[in-house]
Amino acid sequence: MPSNLSLRRAKKVIWVIRISDVDMSMKPQITSVTPPHAIPGGEVILSCEGLRPHGDFGFRCSIGGIEARLVGASQTRLVALVPDGIRTEVAGVVIEGADGASEPFVMRIGATLVDSMHIVANPAVDPSDGSVIVTVSGTRGQKLPRTLFRVSDSGRVDEIPAEVLNPTAVAFDSHGKMFVSCRAQGWVCEVGPDGDVAVRGENLGIATGLAFDDQDSLFVGDRSGTIYRLSENGNATPFATLEASVAAYHLAFGRGGRLFVTAPGLASFDSVHSVDEFGFVSKYFRGLGRPQGLAFDSDGNLYVAASYRGRRGIIKIAEGATHAEVFISGGNVVGTCFGTNGQMYVATSTSLYSFNLGIKGILLN
């Protein structure tokens, strides 16, 4: 009898240990966050394992210690909106269900540098000091006291004392001179270090996008449908023709001297256009919703502010247009550019965000 009792007790102990092991494996975990970068308001998809709903609250998610609103939920996938107020760029994502909370899964959140702007195109980096130029553009014809601002990477904001009506795009030539398009007047202006303004091109329609090629020729996008090449003395000649846009034209040069253009329309299947040296226009990539500002990295990858397959943010298109992915998630995104030390800047219609991703922009080679 004693030996049989001992055996039953031993078996019972083994059985309890095995149940404990199973319970530990039920703890929820996050296997991926897509995309791995976002700004506040961006939508991220969390792939999950071991997640069971709790009777009282179903599922919960927090990002950077702040509860995130869920807009979609199942036991294998949660869709969350990145909340405001996250104070760190590297943030932990935690999910919670009936079996407790997961370990944090790391993602990157854009650091807010400035808000209360009115940005309608790409920001631009001043090569002389690495600061970022952003705009308060206003409605067409609206005169504002200050329209151009210089933002340091620490978030310090300085007004540029220049009177520019409805500034849209900003670009720097190889000598570090700053040029700004003025859509209300159809001008391109050069803005000096002290804020003095000189008109360098006129009669450019609704002048929006700007880009310099490697010969310092300036190209200007008129949202009515024409891209102009501006000579050094200010003469504008038509270079290429596209369809009219409901918003600003956006321009950027890629490797090989080709000009890339977006002209957002009302459809959800717009294209990035490529223009060769003779002004011939072709479609580089199709399937974007309302594509706007664009920039290239040194590997030839293209980044576009757009929506792709129903998700908005910065879309990364591999060189040669082989595939696309949402690289940074966020709403109301209008443009992007790269800094001098691997930063990536993302502009929404009201704010500027910074990511330290170690990506080198193509124009910084």
Residue 219: pLDDT band by 50, 70, 90 thresholds?
A: very high
Tens digit of each residue's pLDDT (9 = 90 or more) over 303-317? 999 999 999 999 999
Query: Which of 252, 265, 248, 261 has its CA nearest to residue 166?
Result: 248
Buried residues in 239-261 as b, exposed as e (16+ CB within 10 A): bbebeebebbbbbbbbeeeebbb
Q: Report the pLDDT value the prediction gives residue 363, as an integer from 0 to 100.
A: 57
Q: What percent of the chain has pLDDT over 90?
A: 76
Residue ranges per structural domain of the chain:
25-109, 112-364
**Would you say residue 300 has pLDDT above 50?**
yes
User: pTM for the whole thing?
Assistant: 0.90
Query: Which of 131, 116, 73 has its CA nearest to residue 97?
Result: 73
112-364 maps to CATH 3.60.20.10:
no
Q: Report the pLDDT value the prediction gives residue 250, as an integer from 0 to 100.
A: 96
Tens digit of each residue's pLDDT (9 = 90 or more) over 223-232? 999 999 998 8
Pick from 11-15, 31-35, 73-77, 136-140: least confident: 11-15
List, in order, residues 6 or more apart from 79 with CB less than 8 Å away.
43, 44, 45, 46, 70, 71, 72, 73
Architecture of domain 25-109: Sandwich (2.60)
Instruction: Please give the Cα distance from 263 to 48 (Å, whole number).
Output: 38
| Helix, strand or coil, per DSSP, at residue 334 | strand
